[in-house]
Amino acid sequence: MKKVITYGTFDLLHYGHINLLKRAKAQGDYLIVALSTDEFNWNSKQKKCYFSYEIRKQLLESIRYVDLVIPEECWEQKISDVKEFRVDTFVMGDDWEGEFDFLKDYCEVVYLERTPEISTTQIKSDLNKK
């Protein structure tokens, strides 16, 4: 079984995220999503989530491409995650191109093209215009 892992906040969940998860799953047979906790988002990414971790986790677990959701609590957990879950492939959107190449010592690293026209910032901006 070829295992894939990806990381993110996934708030507000939109089709750009779904496109990423679909293509990430296509890299193997089993997709793990390391979901940024509320604390990690606030302390390390200066992101205030609209939906709590528990809600974001439920949403991700309802997606057919996702097999397991685990918490992302710090930037430094990736190597141990890859080892612990025997991950074959690490996947991120190409806005992170090159940032995680250190993982190439442990698994395949794949950066997939982002869906260009959609982002949570864009959604919020469009809603404010209405």
Would you count residue 114 as binding ligand C2G (CB under 6 A)? Answer: yes
Q: Which stretch binds ligand C2G (CB under 6 A): 50-58, 62-70, 81-89, 113-121?
A: 113-121
Name residue, tokens 């991120």: 92
Q: Does residue 83 carry a catalytic annotation? A: no
Of 50, 28, 26, residue with least CA distance to 38:
50
Active site residue 129: no
Distance (Å) of CA 5 to CA 8, 39, 43, 47, 98: 10, 21, 23, 22, 16
Binding mask of the shown chain, residues 9 to 28, with x at each position contacting ligand C2G by CB under 6 A: xx-----xx--x--------
Any contact of residue 95 with ligand C2G (CB under 6 A)? yes
28 by DSSP, 3-state: which? coil
Contact status: 36 vs ligand C2G (CB under 6 A): yes
Question: Which string of x and - marks every residue 40-79 that binds ligand C2G (by CB under 6 A)?
Answer: -----x--------------------------x-------
User: Among 49-57, 59-67, 101-109, 110-118, which window interacts with ligand C2G (CB under 6 A)?
Assistant: 110-118
SS3 130: coil
Q: Which residues of 94-104 are buried (b: 16+ CB within 10 A; e: fewer)?
A: eeeeeebeebe
Residue 126 bridge partners (DSSP): none
Spatial distance between the Cα atoms of 35 and 77, rounded to a whole number of angstroms: 12
Residues lying near ligand C2G in the complex (CB under 6 A): 7-10, 16-17, 20, 36, 45, 72, 92-93, 95, 114-115, 118-119
By annotation, the residues acting in catalysis are: 45, 47
